[in-house]
Structure 1
Amino acid sequence: MNQPASAYFIEERHDPSETHTLAVLVQNEPGVLARVIGLFSGRGYNIESLTVSETEAQKHLSRITIVTTGTPMVIAQIKNQLDRMIPVYQVVDMTQTRRSIERELAMVKVRGQGEHRVEALRLADAFRARVIDATTESFVFEITGNTDKINQYIDLMRPLGLVEVSRTGVAAIGRGPEGM
């Protein structure tokens, strides 16, 4: 009895990629950031956003905030591998806690005259962006908010004469009285 070739194939299900924000508390010492980034690049994981700063000078601790994308299995692997690194004290998936606040800062330079300048100022007001530099030919706006808000603002500025964008990356913190 012959069956069609397609009967022998098992349907594969692919988990959709998810975006997760990970807060990683590490020892503030040379080479730690390179090791964390090496974990991602060595395994082909992508970093969408990366923010690093010392948070507790007396304890020599830094906080690395990483936004990455992957299937639930890949995200679990990333967290487990980070947890096993020696200078890492704690890894918190801010996305899973569902009790976090995420913000990003961007500076957006727009060149334009006449109606384009007026429209750029109107949009800046609507998005609560501040003018931090102005010339007769351009503006530099400062905007803070979640990544979607900033992306939307940038998209609206493109036809008005967007010249350049500089972004900080995502910073995240949990709600409530508890710390990491």
Structure 2
Amino acid sequence: MNTTPDAVPTAVPRPTYWPDGTPLSIQLFTLEDSGYGPYVGLPLRHFWTPVSAHLFTRATAEQIVKDLHRDECGILGAFADDGTLTFTTEHENGKESTRTILRPDEHGRYEIGGLWAWDEWGDHAPHTVGQAAFALGAAEYRWTAERCTKHSEGLDHLYAQGREEAHAVSLHRDESAN
């Protein structure tokens, strides 16, 4: 991760490539053991662990912060006017709290990880039909409009939001359009 406690972080690294040279694509994440998300992220490595860092847009980072606050897990997040995101971890037993400071990269994406465990978002996690529509939109972000899954009017905006979020975090890359 690109942070040090109470310090300005280094630059966000660029995503890596699969061994065959294909750029990594978006992936859907959730906080482990939760029904939150799906969070559209861009892995920084083709092999990641539950504590690996991934790139997220400001909108997704804001949703992650809201969900952490709702979960009351002892991790608080706050955005400063300059876009800096600070996570504060409250420790039990009178230990001093830990701060992790994140600055967005030149595209407004945040490298978030190492503070809690990520899990892949999928059917094993409890979710609503709205979350499923958003996830499907993100998964189909490289598809042409003709190939995209059609939804009822009540879900089409969530599907479109998922596609938009995937395009934003991936910088509109079209690495293998179908």
Which protein is bigger by CA-based radius of gyration?
1
Q: Which has the higher strand share?
A: 1
Confirm or deny a common fold (TM above 0.5): no
TM band (smaller chain): under 0.3
